[in-house]
A and B are shown apart, each in its own frame.
Chain A
Amino acid sequence: MQPKLLEVGGVTKSFGGVAALSNGSFALERGSVHALCGGNGAGKSTLLSIIMGIQARDSGVIRRNGAEVNFRSPREALAAGISIIEQELSPVPAMSVAENIFLGREPLAGFGRIDFRSMNSMAQSLLDDLHFDIDARTLMMNLNVAKLQLVEIAKALSYDAEIIIMDEPTSALGEAEADQLFAAIRTLKRKGKGIIYVSHRLSEIFQIADTFTVFRDGAFVDSGSMANVSREQLIQMIVGRPLREEFVKTNTPGDETLLSVRGLNSTNHVRDVSFEVRRGEILAIFGLMGSGRSEIFERLFGLVEDRGGEVVLDGRKISVSSPAEAIRLGLAFVTEDRKGSGLVLSASVRDNICMAHLPFLGVGPVMSGRRESQSAREMIDRFRIKTASDRLEVAGLSGGNQQKVVLGKWFLTAPKVLLLDEPTRGVDVGAKREIYRVMSDFASAGGAVIMISSETDEVVGMADRAVVMRDGRVSGELSRTDLSADRLVHLAA
C-alpha cells in the first residue's frame, strides 16, 4: 500500500496550561481533498500552524510519506513539499505575477541582474500547465481576489509542493470566482496533489472534498468519506449538539412598505435600481462580486454621491447625504468587511457598541459613562457576546463575537431598516444560526432586513424575496416560492 501523503496522529498543544488541541489526527491521501471542519476555536488553526512548523507540538506524530517529520519552521515544511495559502493573502501589488511567484528566488543573469525573460516564461508555463487564464506579466494589483488565489496556488506548485493547505480560500470570493478555484483544485487532484481544505461553508465542502475530519474544542471528533455523511450529520458533529434547523426563520412579511427605492443611481456602478421591502420582510440581494450589490448600500447610507433616484422610508421621501443622517433616519449598515469598516479593533467592546449612538449617550457634548456602560451591557446580554469585560479590546474577540459587537452597535440605534452585507462571512455554524435568529426576530418585530449574500443556501433559507443584480442593474426578482439556487445563479450570471 502506498504511504499516505500526510498523516497526523494525537497531536497536542497547550498554551499556558490551556489545551488548544488535545488530539489532532487526520490523514491525507494522494490526489484527494481533505476537509478540516470545526467551529471557531476548534483547534484547526493550531493544528495547521503545527504542521507548518510555526508552532511546536507538545506531543503526537506527523508522518510525511510514511516517514516521521518534525518541522521547526515554515521553510522546512515548504522544503518537504507542504505549502499553505493563508486566508489573508499578502501579494506585492506593484509587482508582476511572475515576480510574485519567484519572489526571493528570482532567476539571475550576469552581474546580479534578474533574468526577466526566463522568469516570465517559467511563470507562464506554470500557469498554462494549470489552465489558469493569467498573463505572467500582469501586475498583481490588476487581478481580482480569485485570480490572486490562483497565483498563490501556482506559487505553491513552483516549490514542488505536493500538499497544499487552503485556509478559508473562498472567504473573499463570490460564487463564480469560487468555481474558478474549484476547477483549479480538480486540476491539482488529477496531478496527484493532496489538498487540505478549511472552510466554514459546508456546501463547498460537499462540492469539493473527498474526505473530512471534524474537530471540536481542540479534539478529534470523527473522520470519514464525504460520500457517507449528510449535511445534517456534519453540522451536528461540528456544533456538538443536534441542530434542528440550520436557518432560523419565523418572520412573516407584512403589507406595509417600509422602504422603497426607485431608479437609484450612484457614482459607483449602480444603474437604475428599484426595489421595495415591507415591514417584517427579509429581502435578499444576490449577485456576483462586482455586480453593484454593496454599492446599493453605500448609496442608501450616504457614503457616495447621490446621482438620482427616489428613496422613500416609512412613507416619507428622504435624501441621505451622510451616514449620520442615515442613522438618524433609522438605517443601520453592517458592512461586509468587519475589520476594515465594521469595527475599531483597537477600541473596547463598549466604545464600539456605542460608536453609532454617541449623540444619545450623553448630555450635549459630554458623554455619560454610566449610560455608555449600560447600553454596552444591554447589547452584550442581548447578543450573548462572550467577553470578560466591556472594556476589553474588541480585537481579542472571536470572529463570531466581533460580528455580534457590530450587530450590537447597530441595534443600539434602534433602526427601522437593517442593511446587512454578507453578515455571516467567516463566522462558524453556531454563530451563523444566532445571526439568523437576530435577523428573523428583527423582522418579526416590524423591521425590514435587506441582506446581501453570495451564498445561495443562505438566500434560499432566509429570504422572503430576492433581488438579483448583474452589472449594476437588477436582473430579476424572485419571490420565496420561486427561490432556488439554480434560478439565482442563472439570473446573476
Chain B
Amino acid sequence: MEAKQAVAPGTEGRGAGLKRRLAVYGQKYGILVALVLVCLVLAVVNEYFLTARNITNVLRQTSINGILAVGMTFVILTRGIDLSVGSVVALAGIVAASLATTSSTAGVAGGPYPALLAIAAGLSVGMACGAVSGIVVSRFAVPAFVATLGMLSAARGLTLLYGGGRPVPELTPGFRVIGTGEVAGIPVLVIIFAVVFLIAWWVLSATRFGRHVYAAGGNPHAAVVSGINVRRIRFLVYVISGGLAGLAGMMLAARTGSALPQAGIAYELDAIAAVVIGGTSLAGGVGRVTGTLIGALLISVVNNGLDLMGVESYYQQVIKGVLIVAAVMLDQARHRRE
C-alpha cells in the first residue's frame, strides 16, 4: 500500500518528495551534514587526515573546549551566558596543580597530595566560582553577561594572586594521567569528555532537572507558574558550568605538565561558538547538547584541516568567525521559513 502511494504520483512527485525530505534533513541535521562534508573534503585533499593518529589528535583537541561548551549549553539554555569559564580554567588549574606538584617553591606545604584530592579541590574551586556567579544572577537579578564578566576578571586576578603570577610546574604522574594517560589507545582526555557529554545528554533529555532547564529558558514566567523553582535552576546551571570549567582547567594543566596563570584566555569564546554553531538559541529554551558536540567537533576539524593544509593561524581565526556567523544565519533563515 505504501509502495503504491509512493509510486502513484509519478516520477515528478517522487523527485519533489525526495527534495523535500532532503530539505527537512538538511534543516534538522544541517550542522552534522556540514561536519560530514568538511571531513569528506579533508579526507580527499589530505591523506593524513583520516589516520588514527590525526583523528585521536582532533578528539584530544576537542575535549577541553567540548567540556566547557557542554557547561555553556546548560547556561545558554536558561537564557544566560558564562563569560568566566576561561578564567576559571586558570584558577582551578593552578589551585589543583599547587596540590599536585613536587616543586617545593610552587606547591602547597606538605605536598604533593594525592591526585584525587587535588582534583576534588579543583572541582570545588570551579563550582564555587559558578555558585558566586549563580547567586549574583539568580538572587540579585544581575544580567548574566555582567555577572560573569565580573567573574572573568575576578577569577583571573585570584589566579595571579594565588600563584604569585608564576606557573606551577613538575606535576605528579598521578595527576598527569587526566591529561596524558591512555586507556586501550584512547586518551583519557577524550574518555573524560565522552563521559561528561553522555551524562549531560542524559540529564538534559531524561531527567526532571533537564525539563526544568528547558522550561526556565523557554519562558521563565510560565515555568514559575507551573511550580518550577526557576531561581534554583538558574543558580545550578552556573555551578555546573563552573565545575566543568574547573575540570577542563585541570585537564589542560595535566596535559601541558604545568599550570599557567595565563591559561584559558578567550576560551569562553570557543565554547560559546560551539554551542551556537550547534544550534542552541541564545534566546533560551531551544537546543541540544548533541548539537554542541557537533559544533565543538566542527571547530576542531576545521582548525585541524587548516593546520594540515598549512594555512596560517591568523586566517584560521577569520575563518572561524565566518563559520560562527554563517551557522547562526542559517539557523535564523530556518526559523523564518517555519
Contacts and interface: CB of A to CB of B under 8 A. Distances in A.
Interface of A: 301, 303, 322-324, 326-328, 333, 335, 340-347, 351, 354-356, 358-359, 362, 365-367, 369, 409
A324 B229 contact: yes
Contacts of A347: 214-215, 218, 285
B139 interface: no
A342 B212 CA distance: 15
B110 interface: no
Interface in B270-322: 281, 285-286
Given A322-B227, A324-B227, A346-B285, A355 B207 contact: no
Interface in B134-173: none
Contacts of B210: 367
A344 B223 CA distance: 8
Given A341-B219, A345-B219, A362-B208, A356 B214 contact: no
Contact of A326 (B206, B215, B221, B227): B227
26 contacts: A303-B224, A303-B225, A324-B227, A324-B229, A327-B227, A340-B221, A340-B222, A341-B219, A341-B222, A341-B225, A342-B225, A343-B219, A344-B215, A344-B285, A346-B281, A347-B214, A347-B215, A351-B211, A355-B211, A355-B228, A358-B211, A362-B207, A366-B207, A367-B207, A367-B210, A367-B211
B48 interface: no
B289 to A, nearest CB: 16
A328 B209 CA distance: 18
B5 interface: no
A322 B219 CA distance: 18
B229 A344 contact: no
Contacts of A301: 225
A23 B211 CA distance: 45
Contacts of A359: 208
State which size class the interface on B falls in: 20 to 34
A171 B219 CA distance: 22
Nearest to B210: A367
A272 B286 CA distance: 43
Given A359-B208, A366-B207, A344 B214 contact: yes
A333 B219 CA distance: 16
Contacts of A326: 227
From DSSP, what is the main secondary structure of chain B's interface residues? helix
B206 A366 contact: yes
B214 A351 contact: yes
Q: Which has the most chain B C-beta neighbours within 10 Å: A324, A326, A341, A359? A: A341
Given A358-B208, A366-B206, A367-B208, A323 B218 contact: no
Given A346-B285, A366-B207, A323 B214 contact: no
Contacts, number: 80
B224 to A, nearest CB: 6
A344 B218 contact: yes
Nearest to A358: B208
A324 B224 CA distance: 8
Contacts of B285: 344, 346-347
A366 B214 CA distance: 15
B215 A333 contact: no
B215 A323 contact: no
A359 B208 CA distance: 7
Interface of B: 206-212, 214-215, 218-219, 221-229, 281, 285-286
A168 to B, nearest CB: 22
B219 A323 contact: no
B225 A333 contact: yes
B218 to A, nearest CB: 4
B207 A323 contact: no
B202 to A, nearest CB: 9
A355 B286 contact: no
A323 B222 contact: no
A303 B229 CA distance: 11
Contacts of B211: 351, 354-355, 358, 367
B227 A344 contact: no
A409 B215 CA distance: 13
A437 to B, nearest CB: 24
B286 to A, nearest CB: 5
A354 B211 CA distance: 10
Nearest to B216: A344
B220 to A, nearest CB: 9
B226 A356 contact: yes
Contacts of A362: 207-208
A342 B208 CA distance: 19
A365 B219 contact: no
Report the 9 A-B pairs with minimum CB-CB distance, sorted nearest first: A344-B218, A324-B227, A341-B221, A356-B226, A344-B219, A355-B226, A327-B227, A346-B285, A346-B218
Given A303-B225, A324-B227, A333-B225, A345 B208 contact: no
Given A335-B225, A365-B208, 5 more contacts: A301-B225, A333-B225, A341-B219, A351-B214, A358-B212
B296 to A, nearest CB: 23
A329 to B, nearest CB: 11
B208 A355 contact: no
A410 to B, nearest CB: 9
Contacts of A354: 211
Nearest to B212: A358
B227 A356 contact: yes
A347 B219 CA distance: 9
Contacts of A367: 206-208, 210-211
Q: Which of B209, B215, B225, B286 has the most CB atoms of chain A within a 10 A radius of its CB?
A: B225
A301 B226 CA distance: 10
Contacts of B212: 358
A345 B208 CA distance: 19
Of the candidates B227, B228, B229, the one having the most CB atoms from chain A within 10 angstroms of its own CB is: B227
A322 to B, nearest CB: 7
A343 B215 CA distance: 9
Contacts of B214: 344, 347, 351
A466 to B, nearest CB: 25
Given A355-B223, A355-B228, A346 B209 contact: no
A343 B225 CA distance: 10
Contacts of B224: 303, 323, 341
Nearest to B207: A365
A323 B209 contact: no
A342 B222 contact: yes
B244 to A, nearest CB: 19
A356 B224 CA distance: 10
Given A366-B207, A367-B207, A345 B225 contact: no
Contacts of B225: 301, 303, 323, 333, 335, 341-342
A375 B219 CA distance: 22
A326 B225 CA distance: 10
B221 A355 contact: no
A234 to B, nearest CB: 34
Nearest to A341: B221
Contact of A365 (B209, B218, B228): B209
Contacts of A341: 219, 221-222, 224-225
A121 to B, nearest CB: 40
Nearest to A354: B211
A341 B210 CA distance: 20
B197 to A, nearest CB: 18
A341 B225 CA distance: 7
B215 A355 contact: yes
B279 to A, nearest CB: 13
